[in-house]
Amino acid sequence: MTIYIKPIDISSFSEVEELHKMIFHFYAEYDISHPVSSETINNTIKHLKTYPENGSIQCIYNQNNIFVGYSILIKYWSNEYHGYILFIDELYIKPAYRDQGLGSGFIKLIETGYKDIQALALEVSPSNNRASDLYEKIGFIKNKNSTLIKTLRK
């Protein structure tokens, strides 16, 4: 299935509203341990629009111009990988559009569209076997290291 991506249009109320719905569903489906609110979503949108060098929120549309998913992409420098890593912080496809090649199509688009990236990184919920299988199928491997996080503020 053909897709295209574009940054979130903050002037489009309907696009921002739909993004909110998808993010709430993403967290309800895969990560209820991290409560999300409209305020946190709006803060993320505002931050990435103000500091685009840090990353972006990409809206995923299918060939029928239907908003079918989103991704939050964060760019950072890695000494280990000798350049920029693009971290796929969130990747969500609406349930009705899953298993149609949209996730792998999105990965292919960013692989070719971000010329200054040395590597892609992502996290996947341990319970999301379908996503894990997809990512491994398209070339992601489990890193030998584990990620540890210490929350400083909530």
Decide if pLDDT at 52 tops 70.
yes
Give 59-97 pLDDT, tens digit per residue: 999 999 999 999 999 999 999 999 999 999 999 999 999
Give 22-36 pLDDT, tens digit per residue: 999 999 988 778 789
CATH 3.40.50.300 assigned to domain 3-137? The reply is no
Residue 121 has φ and ψ, to the nearest 5°, of -135, 155
Distance from chain centroid for Cα 26: 11
Q: Which of 22, 34, 30 shows the shortest CA–CA distance to 127?
A: 30
Q: Can you read off the two tokens belonging to residue 140?
A: 């992601």
Beta bridge partners of 133: none
Cα–Cα dist 92/19, whole Å: 10
